[in-house]
Amino acid sequence: MPRSKSSIRWLREHFSDEYVKRALQEGYRSRAVYKLLEINEKDHLFRPGMTVVDLGAAPGGWSQLAARQIGKQGVVIALDILSMEPLPGVEFMEGDFRDAAVLERLLAVLGGRSVDLVLSDMAPNTSGIKAVDQPRGMYLAELALDFAGQCLRPGGDLLVKAFQGEGFDQFFKNLRTAFAAVVPRKPRASRARSAEQYLLARNYRG
């Protein structure tokens, strides 16, 4: 089946992307790792021995970086609706985070252990219709916040992808209620045309 013009354009753009090239050269699983690297350089998210949960983890770039940063004494639990090749130091669960049974499985894996940092790079499959895609994206962000409220230790952090548009301002307010500080981040590796923004919520009130 011949590729469409849009898919050909995407492939051309993808393989000429500087972050795609760097990821291949430096052994990272995705260009998205450079978003997390830049945020970490600015905000110092990781410490040795942390417990980290990575939501929307596949193909594994963020989990890969987190495991390297926290060391062998730390724990990374990753979850995605897609399968993911194994990574050293990362325990992976496959499932749809929107499913209550999957959330229960994740909480069971944690076994009551308090989490230091929740990462969420979750995004919906897009339809190209903003009125459909925006609520889907914000729903995933709300699910990440709800999960953080169940598992974060007091003083823990949440880094979550949200999408500017309807629901964003209210979500920001919800974060401000639950955390002592919330700062927006738009890393250089985040494509300029994307409505995504990362919100770093620090010092969970508990």
Catalytic residue ranges = 161
**The 196-204 sheet, strands edge to edge:** 90-94, 75-80, 51-55, 115-120, 152-163, 196-204, 179-185
Whether the Cβ atoms of residue 119 and residue 32 lie closer than 8 Å to each other: no
Name the E strands within 41-191. Answer: 51-55, 75-80, 90-94, 115-120, 152-163, 179-185
CA 48, chain centre distance (Å): 20
- Whose CA is closest to 26, among 65, 76, 56, 84? 65
